[in-house]
Chains A and B, each alone.
Chain A
Amino acid sequence: DAGITQSPRHKVTETGTPVTLRCHQTENHRYMYWYRQDPGHGLRLIHYSYGVKDTDKGEVSDGYSVSRSKTEDFLLTLESATSSQTSVYFCAISGGGAGLTRADTGELFFGEGSRLTVL
Chain B
Amino acid sequence: GQQVMQIPQYQHVQEGEDFTTYCNSSTTLSNIQWYKQRPGGHPVFLIQLVKSGEVKKQKRLTFQFGEAKKNSSLHITATQTTDVGTYFCAGYDYKLSFGAGTTVTVRA
Contacts and interface: CB of A to CB of B under 8 A. Distances in A.
Nearest to B99: A42
Contacts of A73: none
Nearest to A111: B42
A108 B46 CA distance: 10
A111 B48 CA distance: 19
A110 to B, nearest CB: 4
Q: How large is the interface on B (under 10, 10 to 19, 20 to 34, 35 or more residues)?
A: 20 to 34
A5 to B, nearest CB: 12
How many of chain A's residues touch chain B, expressed as a range?
20 to 34
Nearest to A113: B42
A42 B101 contact: yes
Interface in B42-79: 42-45, 48
Contacts of B11: none
Interface in A97-112: 97, 99, 101, 103, 105-112
Contacts of B21: none
Nearest to A1: B44
15 contacts: A40-B9, A40-B100, A42-B88, A45-B95, A90-B43, A101-B95, A103-B96, A107-B33, A107-B48, A108-B45, A110-B42, A110-B43, A112-B41, A112-B42, A113-B42
Interface of A: 35, 40-45, 59, 90, 97, 99, 101, 103, 105-113
